[in-house]
């Protein structure tokens, strides 16, 4: 017999968790992606929860349904077990190395942005934009201006940016359009919170084989590779002085700014 586990990600109010449910809708448990804490309702299901969480993080999708052996069923036969382990990347199923899976060992977008603090940049993470549960992954305020930053993972895929279009393995995406819309919403919220004459641009940070066919940093939304993130931000012309940066960052950290 087999069971289907569904994994969904929940990111609000600074929290970032995976919730796993069975095909019946019954809750299996959760994984806190910030602390690594695993909470399981039934100890017999912990191994299955960890497998599903690993698969979700590797797949980089919004929701994952994964078929696993039902509780009480014996181990997989050697061929199936080898195939599943190869698909999950060969890791021990009893260990979820979140830092490695999410690329956060000293080289994540969050870490790279925070390293620019000494150069006058301030970052607000997981900004709750509006009442519908939307989150801005990173809001960056610094000498070069104000930016929303979102990461898109396409390891091993060919990503081409040309004009206002971003394609992954030849397929067009809405990444740049979404970044423009998100930046516009952030700008409107800051204006409503009395930050006068602000301009916000969207940045899509790509993990993958990125080919740039257009020079973009002057656009209202642009894409860069993760390894070039700091270089591009440091090369931007100065638009904001330290006092203005501090004032805007202060407003950005107030929950009331984003509750409309």
How far is 217 from 248, CA to CA, in rounded Å? 22
How far is 5 from 88, CA to CA, in rounded Å? 15
The label of the residue with tokens 């919004």 reads: 62
Q: Residue 2 has what pLDDT?
A: 65
Average pLDDT per consecutive 10 residues, the chain (260 residues; last block may be shorter)? 80 78 85 78 78 78 76 48 45 48 56 88 88 83 95 86 87 91 94 92 88 71 87 91 94 87
Q: Are 121 and 141 in contact (CB under 8 A)?
A: yes
- Structure tokens of 57? 């993080």
Please name which of 116, 196, 101, 111 lies closest in space to residue 153, comparing C-alpha atoms: 101
Please name which of 239, 214, 212, 238 lies closest in space to residue 227, comparing C-alpha atoms: 212
pTM: 0.59
Q: Residue 217 has what pLDDT?
A: 55
Q: Are 45 and 27 in contact (CB under 8 A)?
A: no
Terminal CA-CA length for the chain: 48
Show the domains of the chain with their CATH numbers.
2-101 (no CATH), 109-258 (3.40.1350)
């Amino acid at each position: 017999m087999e069971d289907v586990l569904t994994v969904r990600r929940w990111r609000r109010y600074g929290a970032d968790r995976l919730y796993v449910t069975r095909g019946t809708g019954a809750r299996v448990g959760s994984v806190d992606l910030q602390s690594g804490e695993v909470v399981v309702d039934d100890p017999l299901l912990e191994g299955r929860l960890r497998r599903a969480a690993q698969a979700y993080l590797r797949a980089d999708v919004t929701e994952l349904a994964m078929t696993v052996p039902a509780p009480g069923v014996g181990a997989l036969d050697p061929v199936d077990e080898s195939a599943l382990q190869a698909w999950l990347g060969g890791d021990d199923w009893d260990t979820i190395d979140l830092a490695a899976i999410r690329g956060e060992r000293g080289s994540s977008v969050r870490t790279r942005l925070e390293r620019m603090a000494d150069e006058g940049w301030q970052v607000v993470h997981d900004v709750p934009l509006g009442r519908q549960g939307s989150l801005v992954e990173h809001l960056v305020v610094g000498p070069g201006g104000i930016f929303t930053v979102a990461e898109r993972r396409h390891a091993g895929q060919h990503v081409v940016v040309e004009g206002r279009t971003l394609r992954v393995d030849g397929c067009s995406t809405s990444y740049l359009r979404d970044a423009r819309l998100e930046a516009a919403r952030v700008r409107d919220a800051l204006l409503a919170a009395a930050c006068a004459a602000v301009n916000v641009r969207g940045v899509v940070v790509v993990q993958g084989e990125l080919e740039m066919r257009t020079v973009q940093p002057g656009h209202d939304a642009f894409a860069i590779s993760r390894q070039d993130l700091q270089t591009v931000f440091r090369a931007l012309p100065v638009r904001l002085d330290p006092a203005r940066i501090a004032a805007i960052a202060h407003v950005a950290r107030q929950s009331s700014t984003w509750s409309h």
